[in-house]
Structure formats: structure tokens, C-alpha cells
Structure 1
Amino acid sequence: MRGEFACIDRGFWRIVWGLQFPGKVTNLLWRVSRGVLPTAVALLRKHVIISHVCSWCHEYNEDDLHILFDCCFAKKVWHVIGLLNIVQVNMNDTVIDVLKRASTIGTEDQWVMGALFCRSIWYRRNRWVWDKLNVSVFGIKSVALNLLTDWRRMMEENGGKKGGAYARYTVWCKPPEGWIKVNIDATCHQGSEFTGIGCVTRDDRGRFIRA
């Protein structure tokens, strides 16, 4: 199945890797393609006790196709940015089917916008589910356009070639001999008392020690 999956979507992923999206966008597309985006329907399949109904419209099952394209709020977003005709959903479509078709119907810029807005719509869904913060269509546009600006800057700096700004910013450098390196990241949720922190430790040969 893994080989079959890779063969069927090879052209799609060639486009994704060639465009060098920010990691958060590529990660979203990959999780959608593997069916592991934690929507309500996906969580129910994992025996998580949760309502299957969309938390926005309260009418339909919350799967990835609904949340990104079919929900009333998602349709409003696609209409406002002028891409509703590019991301039409047919019966039995998957999210990847919609995006693959959009890559042939629209221009490259429209397809890029589509992928970035998918990430922003998912971001809005999570802010509502976890923090009860209602991000408007304007807020969704702001998040997506900031991603677009970063993406275009990276492409300009790199001349459209692979290994650009995002690659340069995320290269891990090993510590001096005899030392270990601890990389730390953290996040704070606005409006709540929750803070998350994580770290990973590696030695001077890049070998994992502890996380």
C-alpha cells in the first residue's frame, strides 16, 4: 500500500516539494494525505470519545474535507479570496483530490494560495476548539497572507531553487567535541494558563540522547 500510495500521488508531491512550502503547510498536507489529521471523525476512529459534529456549523460530520472546503465558514473564506471555483468538491473526493484538481485548473499562484489557506483554516478551527477564540475571515486572510509573504521572500532569496531560506534557518549544527546540545522550544496559549515546552538532547556526533 505504501508504494501504491506514493505512485498515485507522485505528481502531486512533486509539486509540493518543488514549491518548498513552509514546514507547517507541508506537514498539514502530509497528514491530510495519510488520513491522520485529528478531526472529530478521525479521533472517533481512534476510539476517542468526542462529538462527530462540526464545531462551526453543527450540521455535518467534521472530517478533513468538510472542515477545509465544505463547511459554511470555509466556503465563505474561499469565496472572499476568489478561489471558490478552484476548490470545488465532487462526490467521493478527498482533500488531495481537490488540491490536485486545483493544481490543473488554477494558476500556480492560485494553487499556492489554496494550500496556504488550507493551513489557515485549520489554524482557525484549532483556535476555536482549544481556546474558544473565533478568528474572522479577515484573520484567516492575515495568517495566510503572512505565510505567502514569507514563502515569496524565501523564493526570491533562493532564486526558486531548492535549499532556500527555510532550509538554511532549520539546519542543525552539532556542538564541539565532548559537548552535548539541548534544543528547546516552547509555546504559550493566549487567554489560558497553559504553557508547553519540549527539548531534545544530542551529542557531538548528532546522536539522540534524551527528549
Structure 2
Amino acid sequence: MAKKNKKQDEKEAIDQDTIKKQQQGEPSPDGIIDSNEAVVDIEQSGAVDENTSLINKLRSDLVAAEEKIEEHKNRFLLAKAEMDNVRKRAERDVANAHKYALDKFVPELLTVKDSLELGAKAAKESVAETPNEQVSKFIEGSEMTINIFADTLKKFGVEVVDPQGELFNPEFHQAMTMVPNDDLPVNTVIEVVQKGYTLNGRLLRPAMVIVSKKTL
């Protein structure tokens, strides 16, 4: 009877030791894991897998959202640039319309001015040969009219191109002929047959000129 109690006490001591080791995380002597611990491990493993899948999906959604944002940003920048270009073109067109609105009208006025100047020139030549008071008054009145005409044109951006004595400039002058002249540098404007004009810096009509050249 004493031996039986002794064996039972030893068995209980072993069981207590096994339980204690299991609580401390040590495996049981026979390698068997407690069923409650196995269930907890499985549940934790499933939760980790579920969280990992959720995190991966969120990352994928974030990347897709960032790509969409970048796409919309690029579209916005392109649209903004196009609108800026349209606005600048419109402003330039309006400015040019105001600036060069007289393009077709001014040349007609220049023809009138040319006629007045030619008339005054002919009258001066006539008076030089035969003095005449009435013709002199006509010349005076014509010159006043021409000056007023020129001032009015200047207010609207029309400038005279009168290159007498200047070097020939093909951008603003048109050579009618070349005359030998060793007293002047080559390509000097000897005579202005017809004055030229610009409108706000843009050529309306080139000056018709006679240019010097070397004597052969």
C-alpha cells in the first residue's frame, strides 16, 4: 500500500512538472502540444495571413490611386498650358489687329500725301524759274497741309523712311538703279525718288532710291 502511494505521488509530481514546463513554453516530454495552444496558433496564423492580404490590397489600391492622381495632374497641366497658349494667341491677335488695323487704309493715304508733295515740288520749281506770289502762297499752304498730314500719320504709328545719304538697306529700301560715284562710299543712297513708310515698325512701302557704285 505504501509503494502504491509512493508511485502515485511520483506520477502527480511528474504531471505537475510537465504542466509547469508547458506553461513556461517548454514542450511536453512526449512531444505532444496542448490542443488549446494549437488552436491559438492556428487562429493567430490565420489572422496574420488575413492582415497581410489586406495590407497588400491597400498598397495596391494606393499605387493605383497615385497613378490616377499623376494622370489627372498631367492632364490638368496640359489643359492649362493649352489654355495659356490660346489666351496668348488671342491677346497677340487682338494687339496685332489694333496695331495693324490701318495696313490697308494707310497706303491709300500715302498716295494722297505723295500727290501733295509732288504738287508742292513742281510749284517750287516753277517759282524758282518765274517768281509768282500766288504760287508761293500755294506752296506755303501745301507744305502746311503736308506737315499736318504727316503729324496725323505719325500719331497712328506711321513713320517716314527717307534714307538720303544713308547706306542702302534692302530691308527698307528698293534700288531703282545704280549710278557711278567715286565721291561716296559704294551703296550710298544718292537720291530718294519716293519715300518709304513703316507702320509700328513694320514696312508698309520701301523707299525707292538711286544708289552709288564704283566707276568702272
Q: Please give the TM-score of this superposition, normalised by the length of structure 2.
A: 0.21
The structure richer in strand per residue is 2
Bigger proportion of residues as helix: 2
- State TM-score, norm by structure 1: 0.21
